[in-house]
Structure 1
Amino acid sequence: MHAKQVIPRAALAGGIGGLVAFGFARIFAEPLIQQAIDYEDGRDEAQDALAAAAGKPAAEMGPDIFSRTVQANVGIGVGMILAGVALGLLFAVVYTVVQSRVTWRPRVLALLVAGAGFLTLYATPFLKYPANPPAVGHEETIGDRSGLFLVMILGSVVFLVVAVIVGRRLAARVGTWNAALLGGLTYVVLSGVLMALLPSLGELAANVATYGPVATETPQPLRDAAGRIVFPGFDADLLYSFRVYSFAAQALMWGVLGLVFGALAERASGRTGDAVEAGAPAEAVDA
């Protein structure tokens, strides 16, 4: 397939993947987001009460630009569909480069490229820096958190390229399967080293200053001056469920992208092959 055939099909497949992921997230993750927002509002009220008791002014809260209804439906939906399209375009670039070097069926190659994208752009970085709902993490650390996640993404991509090179060079000596295992081990080791070198989010200065030696970004119980708990810490079950559903939504997006594009690519390749066998002119084949 030519690039002009790959790009629109990949964008369509990515958009469908984003739509499916949104449907899943709307059903399973959105209620957890609302619970997290409710927790944040309750904690803010408790902090304002403590501040008032200590004679300090309450923190000022900015107005919400969009309502929760808009955020939970239009906002997240449009965002995930556009994200799917963007990933589809990135997928198209990688697919176009790789297809010229292998002889695999389009459906197989599509699934492998989608799997590699999910692994490097989300799954591996997620192991070090998992997704968090609202109320987890300080506003002061947004820049640091984004930067660290980007470092994990870049490292993951580089490590996958290194793993592929290692596997290809060893294939002739140790066999295809053994070379694949050694390449995979290379990726795991390099990713593990990077994860060990990078700080956890709880070690960021703002989190340590707030929660002390526990070094976590998850809100701990709020205590008054006498040390009594006046508001509980963030629900661990809610945090766990949110992360599971976030991971599943991304897996759905990449999975649908690979499956849909693979089907479209197989169909296009079949038509092209039929046209060539029938002696159709090149212009008709490329159309």
Structure 2
Amino acid sequence: MTARAFLIRGLIAGLVAGLATFFVAHQVGEPHVETAIALEEAGAAAPAEHTHDEAEADGHTHTHSHGDDGGTEVSRDDQRTWGLLTATLTVGVALGGVLGLVAAGVAGRIGRLTVRQSTALVAVVGFVSFSLVPFLKYPATPPAVGDAATIGARTGDYFGFLLVSVVAAVLLTVLAVRLLPRYGAFAVTVGAVAAYLVVVVVAGQMFPTVNEVGDFPADVLWYFRRASVITLATTWSVLGVVLAGLLGRLQDQETVAAERKALAASL
């Protein structure tokens, strides 16, 4: 089993995961995005109408011209269909390629785990460290939530915390694998999970908290964030299941081929 075989199957798994993610995001997430956009537009329209009424009362009129500023406008229909599909496929294939290479690196190196099991473990660790834990600290926000002036700082904080989470997960996994023969699977697993939780909890307390929700409806915010978690879980679960299945099948085929060669050589 070569790294190229792992990579190709990772890209295939990523493509399937991207398609599944698009379907879930379109059906589960987009309705809440539309609701948030409607609230944002309604909030922006109210001050504009108020200003217009005041201007007419003062005897002044204003003409608003919407000239071409050189930008490219993308309609919401394109955003929620082809744009969303392009994004999910791109992310899915990229994650699939990375996951395939990581699976190749750990195959046969985690105790007695088979390729299927080690690949599934990599997918679980990736989901928790790369998506779930950073989301718990800095959850996704719909349109109309968050100050545009702080988007740079918020993005930096998110990626900083994500880096801490991923690095901690990688280092503790490597340490757990090395300690596995001495202390056993149960003790090593419990210790690694506990150490990871300590690291991310402490880091979570040290990183700044973002609270820019304002008076945005709590139910819409909750539904949006719940849909975001479901979408992330779909990406990683489909990616892990498909890749583990493809690699497991490849391992079975190579095992059968090796057994046939050994049998032929013994005759």
Unaligned runs of 5+ in 1: 203-216, 221-233, 281-287
Matched length = 253
Correspondence for 1:266: 248
Correspondence for 1:118: 127
- The separation in 2 between residues aligned to 1:165 and 1:86, in whole angstroms, is 23
Correspondence for 2:265: none
Correspondence for 1:226: none
Distance 1:58 1:35, change over 3 A: farther
Correspondence for 1:46: 46
- The separation in 2 between residues aligned to 1:60 and 1:91, in whole angstroms, is 50
- The separation in 2 between residues aligned to 1:169 and 1:59, in whole angstroms, is 67
Give 1:87's aligned amino acid: L
Unaligned runs of 5+ in 2: 263-267
RMSD of Structure 2 on Structure 1 (CA): 2.5
- The separation in 1 between residues aligned to 2:143 and 2:101, in whole angstroms, is 34
Give 2:214's aligned amino acid: P
- The separation in 1 between residues aligned to 2:153 and 2:162, in whole angstroms, is 14
Correspondence for 1:278: 260
Distance 1:59 1:118, change over 3 A: farther
Shift of 1:173: 5.8
Give 1:254's aligned amino acid: W
Correspondence for 1:219: 214
Correspondence for 1:94: 102
Shift of 1:110: 1.6
Correspondence for 1:20: 20
- The separation in 2 between residues aligned to 1:106 and 1:171, in whole angstroms, is 17
Shift of 1:245: 1.0
Shift of 1:172: 5.5
Shift of 1:50: 4.2
- The separation in 2 between residues aligned to 1:167 and 1:193, in whole angstroms, is 21
Correspondence for 1:127: 136
Percent sequence identity over aligned pairs: 32
Distance 1:121 1:54, change over 3 A: farther
- The separation in 1 between residues aligned to 2:96 and 2:251, in whole angstroms, is 19
Correspondence for 1:284: none
Higher relative contact order (CA 8 A, sep 6+): 2
1:239 aligns with 2:221: yes
Deviates more, 1:181-190 or 1:157-166: 157-166
